Amino acid sequence: MKIVDAKVFVCCPGRNFVTLKIVTDEGIYGLGDGTLNGRELAVASYLSDHIVPCLIGRDPFQTEDIWQYLYRGAYWRKGPVTMTAIAAVDVALWDIKAKALSTPLYNLLGGKSRTGVMVYGHANGKTIAETIDEVGRHVECRYLAVRAQCGIPGLGGTYGVAAGREPYEPAQKGLPSEQAWSSEKYLQFIPTLFAELRKSHGDDVHLLHDVHHRLTPIQAARLGKALEPFHLFWMEDPVAAELQEGFRIIRQHTTTPVAVGEIFDTVWDARTLIAEQLIDYLRMSLRGGGLTPLKKIAAFAEMHHVHTGCHGATDLSPITMGAALHFDIAVPNFGIQEYMPHANVTLDVFPHGYRFADGYLYPADTPGHGVDFNETLAAKFPYERAYLPVSRKLDGTLWNW
């Protein structure tokens, strides 16, 4: 079998997505997601200008060799644009391989290790009362795990909280907006939020929280300690993780489980964190180079009692979600999968076979990863410039969003 064509599509059904379609001489095609929130066109160009010409004529079954060719062969390694582009190719090739063998992708990854993939939903409120209601709404929909975010008194817009009544979508049309941040106000407020959530919803539901890189290690240690009575499933991205050693400080002070990695590109970004058991959950998904490296990172994590917790925000297309579910159902050290349902208009462009029931997602049982792409419909939604917001401290200092 040979690759005869590859095309890159950029479309905006509700939000921007980059999709790669690789076609073979046997008529089988594979689909990969090359979406990098706010930097979509850079990945589209990397793919169509630099990668697609190198793919023509290759054997799509050689997922490992093609991965090495694109990673080592480029001389320039790592970086979000490179790794997102390689991910799109890698996932499309695994899709082709599974379709050619006429089996669901999970069977190429070791087969099913569990019956369903436990997911967590997003409960966001402007106030504690709203957040309590939102968690309640998720519990009624049978979610077993819910991430809770809340507006901070004294600050305007806060990460994770939608402006209107529509579901939360972090990218906004036009140039980046700016939001105010105060770690002091946040640290004072969040333990109260979780105390109230436990009072209203009891101890059974798994509660999660995303700090979104906003704290320093000692502040994160203080937050983790304050949250211990409310036994969170995890505290996510407590600090920016360029300095992996910083997590030692958090670990020395608290037993609240720590999750990190949605912006990691390679295993080297997590090497110390895993090897020293400084984290409990690795949040990398397929965007960091695809399935080929994710399998290796997961195996390395398994040896260190670290579980997986794939990123699953709406800026990853249904292709990433669909393929991640095959990984989740197969990998022995699966922890949990994030699930932020896409808008209906997105799902119309990406027909898919995965489904949600009683707190679990189930991957498609059809050959491949089970997510398709409607090119004709996608063409009706051209790219629209959109960015994530930026964050500033109250004195104007630019801070982590």
Active site amino acids: 159, 212
Tokens of 151: 């507006």
DSSP secondary structure code for residue 269 in this structure: G
CA dihedral 260→266→267→269, nearest 10 degrees, is -50
Residue closer to ligand KDG, measured from CB, 134 or 338: 338
Task: Give the whole-angstrom CA distance, residue 398 versus residue 43.
Answer: 26
Task: Give the whole-angstrom CA distance, residue 218 versus residue 254.
Answer: 11
Task: Give the whole-angstrom CA distance, residue 172 versus residue 280.
Answer: 32
Binding footprint of ligand KDG on the chain (CB under 6 A): 37, 170, 210, 212, 262, 311, 313, 315, 338, 388
Residue closer to Mg ion, measured from CB, 98 or 310: 310
Residue closer to ligand KDG, measured from CB, 170 or 368: 170
* CB of 214 closer than 8 Å to CB of 182: no
Q: If binding is defined by CB under 5 A, does position 210 make contact with Mg ion?
A: yes
CB of 156 to ligand KDG, least distance (A): 18
CB of 230 to ligand KDG, least distance (A): 19
* CB of 304 closer than 8 Å to CB of 279: no
Say which entry of Mg ion, ligand KDG, none residue 338 contacts (CB below 5 to 8 A, set by partner kind). ligand KDG
Task: Give the whole-angstrom CA distance, residue 349 versus residue 24.
Answer: 22
Residue closer to Mg ion, measured from CB, 246 or 261: 261
Alpha-carbon distance values, 6 to 137, 191, 290 (Å): 43, 50, 17
Residue closer to ligand KDG, measured from CB, 22 or 313: 313
CB of 131 to ligand KDG, least distance (A): 16
Alpha-carbon distance values, 166 to 169, 170, 174, 210, 284 (Å): 8, 12, 18, 20, 27
Q: Which stretch binds Mg ion (CB under 5 A): 121-129, 161-169, 189-197, 206-214?
A: 206-214
Residue closer to ligand KDG, measured from CB, 30 or 238: 238
* CB of 182 closer than 8 Å to CB of 394: yes
Tokens of 350: 């990406």
Helices (H) and strands (E) in the chain, counts: 13, 18
The closest of 243, 186, 181, 242 to 209, measured between CA atoms, is 186
Residue closer to ligand KDG, measured from CB, 120 or 381: 120
**Residue 206 — left, alpha, or beta (φ > 0 → left; ψ -120 to 50 → alpha)?**
beta
Site string for Mg ion, 244-263 (x = CB under 5 A): ------------------x-
The closest of 257, 273, 276, 216 to 240, measured between CA atoms, is 216
Residues that bind Mg ion (CB under 5 A): 210, 262
